Amino acid sequence: MNKQQIVQQELNKLQNSRIEKELALKSAIMKARQIPQYLELDNKSRKIQLEISKLDEISDTNKKLHTELEELEKQKIEVLQKNKFNIEALKMHYFCPICSDTGYVENKMCECLKHQVQEALIKQSGINNKLNFTFDDCSEELLLNNSLLYKAYKVAHIYCDNFPNNKHNNLLFFGAVGTGKTFLLECIANELTQKMNYVVFCTAYDVSKTMMHAYSAPYSERNAILSPLFDSDLLIIDDLGTEPLFHESVLTNFFTLINERQRNNLPYIISTNLTPDEIDSRYGNRIKSRIFNTRVTLPILFQSEKDLRLYKKKDD
């Protein structure tokens, strides 16, 4: 499926769900109108609405009718409540109130549709996007017991608040295994996704797999496959250094990716268990100096004070 087809597919989904909701709403209205008292009030209010539609917007009669209409609406709700009718069923609950589930606003694709398309693209690219943790899951006890993690937590919070206008566009989480890097990455990804940013969260292994997939796919499909990596609002690469380096091309592709994102001012966050020296020997100086470019990247060290706390618990 190319991007055009994905857009069409997501648009159809949105519009079908709108049609379903409209049908459900119609049947709820019919059910409510079976209550005689409601039917009477509803007929009155329909008549007034019709009159209003024929009138000048600012006439006195119009104002009077609006007041009457409001009164009728209140009475209708009272009748429904008395009859234990589910009032919510009489409201249209759009998935997206901005475009009323049409997918477009003033001929431009609405953010909701964009988001759906992006998610479909991520799925197609095979990138793992299952995230568990949010900032709310951060244990205060854990943060207070680990000053480095606490500092990182604060940086991550500020990064999300200012996104995408951070002084340092990119973050680099480095330090040993099990020090909270992935946890915090997931918090950031969840937070920014909730704010309608197109965040792609993947492992370094996913990146090289996606790249290899793209370069073996037909040329016409390449952009769609690579788009999540190159065009997302934020790219998060977890666990750099654990992916197999099958081929020299993996390194070239990775360099191109980081370079392009820096050039286009598109933020990324990388986490790694490797030390700067290990990154140098594994990826070469060219990639290392790109990753550690402190003009655009803020490196954050993670260390294992957490283990101490866990041991203490065990002793208890």
Residue 230 — φ and ψ, nearest 5°? Answer: -90, -30
Residue 14 binding Zn ion, by CB under 5 A = no
Nearer to Zn ion, 96 or 287 (CB): 96
Smallest separation (angstroms) from Zn ion to the CB of 190? 21
Distance of CA 105 to the CA centre of its chain: 20
Nearer to Zn ion, 96 or 202 (CB): 96
Give Cβ neighbours of residue 294 (< 8 Å, ≥ 6 apart): 168
Pairwise CA distance, residues 177 & 182, whole Å: 9
Q: Which of 1, 19, 39, 98 binds Zn ion (CB under 5 A)?
A: 98
Nearer to Zn ion, 103 or 175 (CB): 103
Smallest separation (angstroms) from Zn ion to the CB of 100? 8
Nearer to Zn ion, 110 or 188 (CB): 110
- Cβ-in-10-Å burial (0-12, 13-18, 19+) of 165 comes to exposed
Smallest separation (angstroms) from Zn ion to the CB of 10? 11
Residue 112 binding Zn ion, by CB under 5 A = yes
**8 A C-beta contact, residue 99 and residue 113:** yes
Can the peptide bond before residue 164 be classed as cis, meaning omega within 30 degrees of 0? Answer: yes
**8 A C-beta contact, residue 272 and residue 239:** yes
Nearer to Zn ion, 110 or 192 (CB): 110
**8 A C-beta contact, residue 236 and residue 189:** yes
String of contacts with Zn ion for each residue 49-88, x by CB under 5 A: ----------------------------------------
- With contacts defined by CB under 5 A, name the span among 104-112, 118-126, 179-187, 302-310 that binds Zn ion: 104-112
Residue 269 binding Zn ion, by CB under 5 A = no
- With contacts defined by CB under 5 A, name the span among 54-62, 97-105, 254-262, 290-298 that binds Zn ion: 97-105
Cα dihedral across residues 170, 175, 177, 179: positive or negative: negative
**8 A C-beta contact, residue 230 and residue 211:** no
Smallest separation (angstroms) from Zn ion to the CB of 38? 32
Nearest to 269 by CA among 191, 209, 201: 201
Nearest to 200 by CA among 224, 231, 161: 231
Paired sense of beta strands 297-302 and 108-109, if any: unpaired
Taking CA atoms, 312 is separated from 176, 178, 210, 304, in Å, by 20, 17, 42, 14
Smallest separation (angstroms) from Zn ion to the CB of 205? 34
- With contacts defined by CB under 5 A, name the span among 103-111, 128-136, 170-178, 243-251 that binds Zn ion: 103-111
Nearest to 270 by CA among 225, 195, 203: 203
Nearer to Zn ion, 193 or 297 (CB): 193
Give the number of other Cβ atoms within 10 Å of residue 19's Cβ.
10
Smallest separation (angstroms) from Zn ion to the CB of 209? 32
What is the size of the binding site for Zn ion (CB under 5 A)?
A: 5
Residue 99 binding Zn ion, by CB under 5 A = yes
Residue 110 binding Zn ion, by CB under 5 A = yes
Nearer to Zn ion, 109 or 142 (CB): 109
Nearer to Zn ion, 98 or 177 (CB): 98
- With contacts defined by CB under 5 A, name the span among 83-91, 111-119, 132-140, 166-174 that binds Zn ion: 111-119
Nearer to Zn ion, 80 or 110 (CB): 110
In the complex, which residues of this chain contact Zn ion (CB under 5 A)?
96, 98-99, 110, 112
